[in-house]
Structure 1
Amino acid sequence: MAPSRRTVRQYVAAFISSIAVLMCGSTIGWITPIIVWFKGPKSEIPMTSDESSWVASIIELGNFFTPLPSGILVDKIGRKPCLLSIAPMYIASWLLVLTTRSVFVLYIARIIQGFAMGIVFTVLPMYLAEIAGPDIRGTLSTFFQGMFFTGIQIQYCIGPYVSYQNLAYISLTFPVIFLATFIWMPESPYYLIMKNQDVEAGIALAWLRGEDSVVNVDDELKAIKCSVADEMANKKSWTDVISSKTDRRALMIALIVALSEIMSGITAVLTYASQTFNSSESKAFLTPDEYTIILGFLIVFSTVFAAGQIDTMGRRPLLLGSSIGCAVFEFLTGVYYFLLEKTDIYVSKYNWIAFILISAYCVVLASGLGATVATVQGELFPANTRGIASAVIATSVTILSFFWMKIYQVISDNIGIYLNYFIFSACCIISTILIYFLVPETKGKTLAEIQINLVKKTEKIETNDVILEDISTINSIKNEK
């Protein structure tokens, strides 16, 4: 969807705010081109295989601690200040990388990066959903995943060809750029209305909609005020995210979508991509790093494709097609590596097959599951629980990401790469079933309409349960007679 006068500033705000998640992708992708170097004879920071896996995965330890505090603070101090707070964290972490040659200090730098990542994954989906109009909310929300993968790709492209020191300098520029640009972006109109700052909310909304006067957005501003007033009227405590039946349903749906992406193994696959492509002993057409660069470009292009389709095709078709495709391609990848590692069949000379299969998996994931996670997370929750719900989802994703990033290396070393992909494939099959039966379509609906539909769906289920219970009671009485 081409930006119009009314939407161009929304795209600008979405792009600049999403530099935050580009930094997250950069910290994830940073380890990929240098993980083999860490374990090599020329490493300035010599590491064992176990230590390198900790450098890769310990970022998720820091990511575990910040979602819940930021989920609370986001409703107290705002979306914009929370996002701005990550810039000093990233700057400090890259300065540590530049000045250290110690594995232990590197652990600390990665944990700090994890702190920042936890804030971004909690707050940015909310910000993107709240600044966007309903007709382009899905598209703007895909900036989250698109910029995340772009951050990874930048490291894939630059990492193999520059020194360890220069790679850290390049990575340091991203938080500086973010701090210099995002400070000029508006706060979320939803947050400003929550804080009874109606004038500021009108100004922010008019800017986002490309209007010269607040009067021109008066109808939308009134609709947002009514929606926030209804949602905040029921506010009791942050535990409403699980005490309300509607919110429990929303949380379940969002967790299914978010955890389906992680259970497919994407963080581990991308982190260990160069190492995986390096597992074959035969001469390849390209180097492992070159394969990884091509893989990164395919993922970024797939996310761009999804951005153009999510508000046209809808969320459910993309989710279902993506999870089925991931299951198929990961199963075939597992078959290839099983033949390579556990049989005498000579498949090393066909290592391009592994690249094609892993690339196909990443493409279909980026086109569906990856592109819709932030959209669904930002859409499903009312104003009074949006922050804490995002925190719960981010924490759950963190725990699962840490598990897969650490266990991937353990399974590869002790059993074989193939088992990782068989497990990922099985998880995708389960995800497909859950998505089909439980995840609704939200295309083209306002945030208020989504809440109304969730309430109606919950009440319908409860009504059906009551009817079934009454029928069961009547049948029991008849049987007794």
Structure 2
Amino acid sequence: MTGSVKNQYLATICANIMALGYGSFCGWPSAAFLVLQSDESPMIGGPISNEEASWIGAIVCAGGFMGTFFFGWLSNKMGRKIALLLSAVPMIIAFLMIPFSKTVMHLCMSRLLGGFAGGGAFAVIPIYITEIAEDRVRGSLGSTIVLFCNVGILVAFVYGNYFSYTLSPFLLAIFPAIFFFLFVFLPDTPPQLMRMKKHEQAEKALKYFRSVRGSTEKVSEDLMAELEKLKGDSNDLKKEDSDDGNVTLADFNTPVAKKAMFIGIVLMALNQFCGCFAMINYTGTIFEQAGSSLSPNMSAIIVAFIQLLGSYASTMLVEKAGRKILYLASAIGTGIGLSVLGLYINLNSMGYDCTNFKWVPIGSFSLTIFFASIALLTLPFLVIAEILPPKIRALGSNICMTLLWIFCFLIIKFLPKLTDILGLHGLMLLFASCCFLGAAFIIVFLPETKGRSIEEILALLE
């Protein structure tokens, strides 16, 4: 790591502790559902039903829907830093509500609040990182949000296996608390400070993120050029504001904006309709139906570890292989893994002797999660922040994230019903088809953004 990017890495790690906290919130149901649906359920009404479990799992997406718009708006009005700091508060409260919840409604309220915080985190963190990072490290830093989220999921699975239902949420609440007390010392992004007409603070923030000390006269020509560019962008925004230049429908009607939004929406749809995020919520059930001999909790831990490896590989390769190549490999690899799993489940359900192939469920599912984590689940947030024109970046990202939450809710809520209609093997093949269609889309429409400036990326979309 060179000195000039040290503070960019540190700020990225601090911001992503919030993503880690949200990941642990997403991973909490895996082990908790086993308790909630057993005779040891702490609910007043006893064990919860599958329908109630589906609502507890899916309601987090409704919270994310609301959080995306609220914290996206707040980040433009008060800055990225304030928005992220405030998102930690409902996350802490959501965790602390869980041990005291005695009804399904109480748990749904907790999940809604946690989703609200998570929506803010995933709406603002990618923009924060994009605005502080240099072009040469923007990809590797931008892809870390899902890496940290996956660490959180793994931690939640491990805690759920080794700690009690009551103790686990208290331990997981530590992560958003740590984020708050670390992130409060970091500056906001230089572009956002310029937009808020805090020019001196913007200059100080730029020097901090470029690890520069001393007066402006002593700094490099590159930093001076970057500072002048920030001032130029700020002046352009002032002119737009003086011309009643708030974001309008016309700003989304340019060829570049329309193509960028189209790509962003499809990538968000592919993120969910590849099925991997939803299946993580039902990992134990899937392995049980697939004929695996592993326990549900151990299955979940293995899958979460594989997912973490995939997202780590994404972080390491995104600036070497490029976004487009990773996306293509991810879509095809995920489709193949789902196809193999679907074929095995179908043969097993038809009565064929699969005794010698008991390793196929864990092997194919692990392959699926690994390839999905290389790009489908990790890179859309980075790519969308890169390809959207600056004026519509915040609102455009919010629209894409809102659609993501809608897709996520539909998949998680109705996955059990889809399984009843299509069979588990049919569902796997449906998800595989989405992946192969996504691969075709990537070949035709997705531009390569590796190492390119924002201006160069926008030129590719013209």
Q: TM-score, normalised by structure 2?
A: 0.93
Percent identity for Structure 1 against Structure 2: 26
Rounded to whole Å, the distance in 1 between the matches of 2:321 and 2:238 is 32
The alignment status of 1:359 with 2:366, answered yes or no, reads yes
User: Which entry has the higher C-alpha Rg, 1 or 2?
Assistant: 1
Show the counterpart of 1:17: 15
The alignment status of 1:26 with 2:32, answered yes or no, reads no
Rounded to whole Å, the distance in 2 between the matches of 1:330 and 1:232 is 51
Runs of 4+ in 1 over 6 A off after TM superposition: none
Rounded to whole Å, the distance in 2 between the matches of 1:281 and 1:354 is 8
Superposition deviation, residue 233 in structure 1: 4.6
Show the counterpart of 1:249: 259
Show the counterpart of 2:201: 200
User: Structure 1 residue aligned with 2:321, among 301, 313, 327?
Assistant: 313
Residue identity in the other structure for 1:53:
S
- Residues 241 and 248 in structure 1, CA contact (< 8 A), matched pair in contact too: no
Q: TM-score, normalised by structure 1?
A: 0.89
The alignment status of 1:222 with 2:225, answered yes or no, reads no
The verdict on how the C-alpha distance between 1:9 and 1:124 changes in structure 2, with shifts beyond 3 A counting, is same
Superposition deviation, residue 252 in structure 1: 1.1
Residue identity in the other structure for 1:245:
P
Rounded to whole Å, the distance in 2 between the matches of 1:245 and 1:280 is 47
Rounded to whole Å, the distance in 1 between the matches of 2:183 and 2:443 is 38
Cα displacement string for residues 324-348 of structure 1 (whole angstroms, at most 9, x for unaligned residues): 111111111111122233x121336
> What does 1:204-283 correspond to in 2, within 5 Å?
204-213=205-214, 215=216, 216=219, 217-230=223-236, 233-234=239-240, 235-240=245-250, 242-280=252-290
Rounded to whole Å, the distance in 2 between the matches of 1:407 and 1:147 is 27
List alignment gaps of at least 5 residues for structure 1: 458-481
Show the counterpart of 1:135: 136
Show the counterpart of 1:432: 439
Cα displacement string for residues 213-263 of structure 1 (whole angstroms, at most 9, x for unaligned residues): 352222211123334544665544243552333211111112222221211
Show the counterpart of 1:112: 113
User: Structure 2 residue aligned with 1:442, among 423, 446, 449?
Assistant: 449
Rounded to whole Å, the distance in 2 between the matches of 1:66 and 1:421 is 31
The alignment status of 1:393 with 2:400, answered yes or no, reads yes
> What does 1:45-444 correspond to in 2, within 5 Å?
45=43, 46-213=47-214, 215=216, 216=219, 217-230=223-236, 233-234=239-240, 235-240=245-250, 242-280=252-290, 284=293, 286-341=294-349, 343-347=350-354, 350-413=357-420, 415-444=422-451
Rounded to whole Å, the distance in 1 between the matches of 2:353 and 2:325 is 39
Residue identity in the other structure for 2:363:
I
| Secondary structure at 1:369 match in 2 | coil
- Residues 65 and 119 in structure 2, CA contact (< 8 A), matched pair in contact too: yes
- Residues 34 and 160 in structure 1, CA contact (< 8 A), matched pair in contact too: no
Residue identity in the other structure for 1:250:
A
| Secondary structure at 1:135 match in 2 | helix
User: Structure 1 residue aligned with 2:42, among 22, 44, 59?
Assistant: 44
The verdict on how the C-alpha distance between 1:233 and 1:145 changes in structure 2, with shifts beyond 3 A counting, is farther
Rounded to whole Å, the distance in 2 between the matches of 1:158 and 1:148 is 15
Q: Which moved more, 1:306-315 or 1:61-70?
A: 61-70
List alignment gaps of at least 5 residues for structure 2: none
The verdict on how the C-alpha distance between 1:413 and 1:41 changes in structure 2, with shifts beyond 3 A counting, is farther
Rounded to whole Å, the distance in 1 between the matches of 2:19 and 2:204 is 26
Superposition deviation, residue 183 in structure 1: 0.7
Q: How many residues align?
A: 450
Cα displacement string for residues 196-227 of structure 1 (whole angstroms, at most 9, x for unaligned residues): 22211110011111111352222211123334
The verdict on how the C-alpha distance between 1:430 and 1:233 changes in structure 2, with shifts beyond 3 A counting, is farther
Residue identity in the other structure for 2:57:
A
